[in-house]
Amino acid sequence: MTGPFKLVAQPISHDSIEALNELLTQAKQGNLIGVAFAAMYEKGNYSVDVAGEAYKSPTFARGMVKALDDRLRDILHELSST
């Protein structure tokens, strides 16, 4: 058995912060009018929700989420081929 163990803090997700800041900027400029999101938290927790026009137009929001599903599929294939 090795020496004492120490807890290592989870690194901050700088790309998540950058993405959220960009969305916030776009919303403040009036360009982003709705959002449908899934957020991942530590320990396997997550949240999903909609706001703005995405709430008012759920059919359009479902299409956006389908496009996200397709994007995640492409990322999965990309990561599994390396």
> What gap in Å lies between CA 74 and CA 69, rounded to an integer?
9
**How confident is the model at residue 7, as a pLDDT?**
67
Q: What is the mean pLDDT of the chain?
A: 93
With a cut of 90, say whether residue 57 has pLDDT above it.
yes
CA dist 45 → 12, 24, 48, 56, 72 (Å): 16, 23, 11, 26, 18
With a cut of 70, say whether residue 2 has pLDDT above it.
no
pTM of the model: 0.79
For 5-38, what is each residue's pLDDT tens digit? Answer: 776 677 899 999 999 999 999 999 999 999 999 9
With a cut of 70, say whether residue 82 has pLDDT above it.
yes
Helix runs in 7-81, H state only: 14-28, 53-56, 58-80
Question: Residues 6 or more apart from 60 whose CB is under 8 A from it?
Answer: 53, 54
